Chains A and B, each alone.
Chain A
Amino acid sequence: MPLERAVVRFGSDRAVYTDARGRFELLVCSKTALFSVEHAGCPTYALPLEIHRDTTLEILMSHRFDALDEVLVLERLAAPATEVVDLNLWNATADLDFGQRLERGSSIRLIRTGASPAKPVYQGFTGNRLLIINEGVRMSGQQWGFDHAPEIDPVFAQEIQFISGSRALWYGPEALGGALTVSRGAIRPEPGVELRALQTVSTNGFGAKSAFQLDVRPKQQHAQGVVRSLLSGFGFRAGASVWGSGDVHAAEYNLSNTGRRGLDMHWAIDWKDRQNRKKFELFYDRFQEQFGLLYAAQVGSLSDLERALEADKPLYIKDFTYHIAAPRQEVVHELFKASIQGKLTGETEWLATYSRQVNFRDEFDVQSVLEPSDLRYAITTHLPELGLENHSGALHWKAKIQGLYQANTYQGRFFLPNFERRGLGLMSGLEFSDARGSFYEVGLRWDVDRFSIYLNPDGNVLERKSSFSGPSVSFSRTNWAPGVRSRWTVGSVYRPPHVHERYSQGVHHGQFSYESGDSNLRGERSWELSYELESPQGAGASSWAVQAYARWVDGFIQIRPDQPILTIRGAYPAFVYDQTDALLFGLDGRYRRAFSREWSAEINCNLLIPRDILNSDWLFYMPPLQAKAELNWQKGLYRLSASGQWTATAFFAPEKQEDFAPPPPAYFIIGLDAEFRPSERWSFGLRLDNALNASYRDYLDRFRYYADAPGFNLALRVIYRGANSFSK
Chain B
Amino acid sequence: MKPRVLFALCSIWFMASCAKDDNRVNNPPNQNDEELITSLLVELSAGGASQTYAFRDPDGPGGNDPVQWDTLRLQAGVSAQVRLSFLDESKDTTEDITLEIMDEAEDHQVFFTPQGVSISITVTDTDSNGNLLGLESSWTASSAGTGTLTITLKHQPEIKAAAPGDIALGETDVEVIFPIRVD
Residues of chain A having any CB pair with chain B under 8 Å: 193, 214, 216, 236, 238, 265-267, 284, 286, 298-301, 303-304, 307, 311, 315-316, 318, 332, 334, 336, 358, 360, 366, 368-371, 373, 378, 380, 407-414, 417-420, 452, 454-459, 461, 463, 505-507, 514, 516, 565-570, 572, 574
**B27→A568 contact, CB < 8 A:** no
**A570→B25 contact, CB < 8 A:** no
Please name the 9 residue pairs, one residue from A and one from B, whose CB atoms are nearest each other, closest first: A300-B172, A378-B21, A368-B155, A414-B31, A301-B172, A300-B171, A369-B100, A409-B23, A418-B28
A452: B residues at CB distance < 8 A: 26
**A304→B171 contact, CB < 8 A:** yes
Binds A, one of B32-40, B45-53, B77-85, B115-123: B32-40
B6: A residues at CB distance < 8 A: 216, 236, 238
Instruction: Tell me the smallest distance from the CB of B53 to a CB of chain A, in Å.
Output: 14
Whether B125 sits at the interface, judged by CB under 8 Å, is no
Given B28, B62, B103, which contacts A410 in the complex, CB threshold below 8 Å? B28
B108: A residues at CB distance < 8 A: 368-369
Given B23, B27, B35, which contacts A378 in the complex, CB threshold below 8 Å? B23
- Report the bound CA distance from A266 to B12 in whole Å: 10
Whether B169 sits at the interface, judged by CB under 8 Å, is yes
Whether B162 sits at the interface, judged by CB under 8 Å, is no
Instruction: Tell me the smallest distance from the CB of B83 to a CB of chain A, in Å.
Output: 17
Query: Interface residues of B, CB < 8 Å — how many?
Result: 57
Given A371, A378, A506, A569, which contacts B174 in the complex, CB threshold below 8 Å? A569
Instruction: Tell me the smallest distance from the CB of A399 to a CB of chain B, in Å.
Output: 31
Beyond A316-B169, A369-B173, A570-B176, whether A214 also contacts B27 by CB under 8 A is: no
Instruction: Tell me the smallest distance from the CB of B55 to a CB of chain A, in Å.
Output: 7
Interface contacts beyond A236-B10, A369-B173, A461-B27: sample of 10 additional A-B pairs, CB < 8 Å, sorted by A: A304-B171, A334-B16, A369-B97, A369-B108, A407-B25, A414-B31, A459-B32, A506-B62, A568-B66, A572-B61
Given B10, B19, B100, B174, which contacts A267 in the complex, CB threshold below 8 Å? B10
Contact indicator per residue, chain B 142-183, by CB within 8 Å of chain A (1) or not (0): 000000000010010011000000001111111111000000
- Report the bound CA distance from A109 to B147 in whole Å: 49
B55: A residues at CB distance < 8 A: 568
Whether B4 sits at the interface, judged by CB under 8 Å, is no
**B17→A286 contact, CB < 8 A:** yes
**A456→B17 contact, CB < 8 A:** no
Instruction: Tell me the smallest distance from the CB of A610 to a CB of chain B, in Å.
Output: 30
Chain B residue at smallest Cβ distance from A302? B175
**B171→A366 contact, CB < 8 A:** yes
- Report the bound CA distance from A516 to B100 in whole Å: 31
Whether B106 sits at the interface, judged by CB under 8 Å, is no
B168: A residues at CB distance < 8 A: 307, 311, 315
Given A238, A267, A368, A456, which contacts B173 in the complex, CB threshold below 8 Å? A368
- Report the bound CA distance from A413 to B175 in whole Å: 22
Chain A residue at smallest Cβ distance from B177? A570
Chain A residue at smallest Cβ distance from B24? A409
Chain A residue at smallest Cβ distance from B168? A307
Chain B at the A interface: SS class: loop
Whether B130 sits at the interface, judged by CB under 8 Å, is no
**B17→A336 contact, CB < 8 A:** yes
Chain B residue at smallest Cβ distance from A269? B10
Given A373, A459, A570, which contacts B175 in the complex, CB threshold below 8 Å? A570
B62: A residues at CB distance < 8 A: 505-507, 514, 516, 565, 567, 574
Residues of chain B having any CB pair with chain A under 8 Å: 1, 6, 9-10, 13-14, 16-17, 19-21, 23-32, 34-40, 55, 57, 60-62, 65-66, 86, 97, 100-101, 103-104, 107-108, 152, 155, 158-159, 168-177
A574: B residues at CB distance < 8 A: 62
Beyond A409-B24, A409-B25, whether A456 also contacts B30 by CB under 8 A is: yes
- Report the bound CA distance from A570 to B28 in whole Å: 30
Chain A residue at smallest Cβ distance from B99? A369
Chain B residue at smallest Cβ distance from A379? B21
**A265→B16 contact, CB < 8 A:** yes
- Report the bound CA distance from A569 to B172 in whole Å: 7
Given A370, A408, A458, which contacts B30 in the complex, CB threshold below 8 Å? A458
Chain B residue at smallest Cβ distance from A408? B25
Instruction: Tell me the smallest distance from the CB of A108 to a CB of chain B, in Å.
Output: 30
Could you jot down 24 A-B contacts, CB within 8 Å?
A: A267-B14, A286-B16, A299-B171, A301-B172, A301-B175, A307-B168, A311-B168, A315-B170, A358-B19, A368-B104, A368-B107, A368-B171, A373-B34, A409-B28, A414-B31, A456-B28, A456-B30, A456-B31, A461-B27, A461-B28, A566-B66, A567-B57, A568-B38, A569-B175
- Report the bound CA distance from A480 to B23 in whole Å: 56
**A238→B28 contact, CB < 8 A:** no
**B26→A463 contact, CB < 8 A:** yes
- Report the bound CA distance from A105 to B17 in whole Å: 35
Beyond A284-B13, A369-B104, A418-B25, whether A299 also contacts B155 by CB under 8 A is: no
Chain A residue at smallest Cβ distance from B66? A566
A216: B residues at CB distance < 8 A: 1, 6
**B172→A304 contact, CB < 8 A:** yes
B170: A residues at CB distance < 8 A: 315-316
**A418→B26 contact, CB < 8 A:** yes
Given A214, A420, A507, A565, which contacts B25 in the complex, CB threshold below 8 Å? A420
**B30→A514 contact, CB < 8 A:** no
Beyond A409-B25, A505-B62, whether A238 also contacts B9 by CB under 8 A is: yes
Instruction: Tell me the smallest distance from the CB of B91 to a CB of chain A, in Å.
Output: 11
**A303→B28 contact, CB < 8 A:** no
**B37→A366 contact, CB < 8 A:** no
Most chain B CB within a 10 A radius of its CB, from A216, A303, A458:
A303
**B20→A358 contact, CB < 8 A:** yes
- Report the bound CA distance from A265 to B57 in whole Å: 48
Instruction: Tell me the smallest distance from the CB of B54 to a CB of chain A, in Å.
Output: 11
**A417→B61 contact, CB < 8 A:** no
- Report the bound CA distance from A623 to B104 in whole Å: 43
**A303→B172 contact, CB < 8 A:** yes
- Report the bound CA distance from A409 to B26 in whole Å: 9
Instruction: Tell me the smallest distance from the CB of B154 to a CB of chain A, in Å.
Output: 8
Instruction: Tell me the smallest distance from the CB of A407 to a CB of chain B, in Å.
Output: 4
Chain B residue at smallest Cβ distance from A419? B25
**A457→B23 contact, CB < 8 A:** no
Given A318, A417, A461, A463, which contacts B158 in the complex, CB threshold below 8 Å? A318
- Report the bound CA distance from A332 to B20 in whole Å: 11
- Report the bound CA distance from A505 to B101 in whole Å: 28
Chain B residue at smallest Cβ distance from A297? B171
A457: B residues at CB distance < 8 A: 31-32
Beyond A284-B13, A304-B172, whether A458 also contacts B32 by CB under 8 A is: yes
Chain B residue at smallest Cβ distance from A456? B28
